[in-house]
Amino acid sequence: MSGSPADIAFRELTPVSHLERAAAVFGDRTAVVDDGFTCTYAELWDWVTKFAGVLAEHGAQAGDRVCVLAPTPTSCSPRTTPCHSRAPSWSP
């Protein structure tokens, strides 16, 4: 994470910065509960940053469009957050 909780608290909140802040401040708290699957904010932040890195490795850049296929809106949320950090244009 790029900053202390105090530093993060005064930034504009975007989907990505909101998750980064939640991971820094509430890392051990539950972030996602979906059909028996749960993860903490820290685990979700770790997954999101890794997946964003994969997008970057495959050439995704800011402004690019990324398609995410997911079976339900709930399962879509963790999958689309990395797209916000690499390709901020997203259409549900």
- Give the Å distances, CA to CA, from 33 to 40, 43, 78: 9, 13, 11
Amino acid identity, position 74 = T
pLDDT of residue 88: 47
pLDDT value for 17 = 83
> How high is the pLDDT of residue 87?
46
The pLDDT of residue 2 = 58
Nearest to 41 by CA among 53, 30, 49: 30
Is the pTM higher than 0.85?
no
pLDDT for position 6 = 62
Averages of pLDDT over each 10 residues, the chain, 92 residues: 60 81 93 83 90 88 78 57 51 47
Q: pLDDT value at position 76?
A: 53
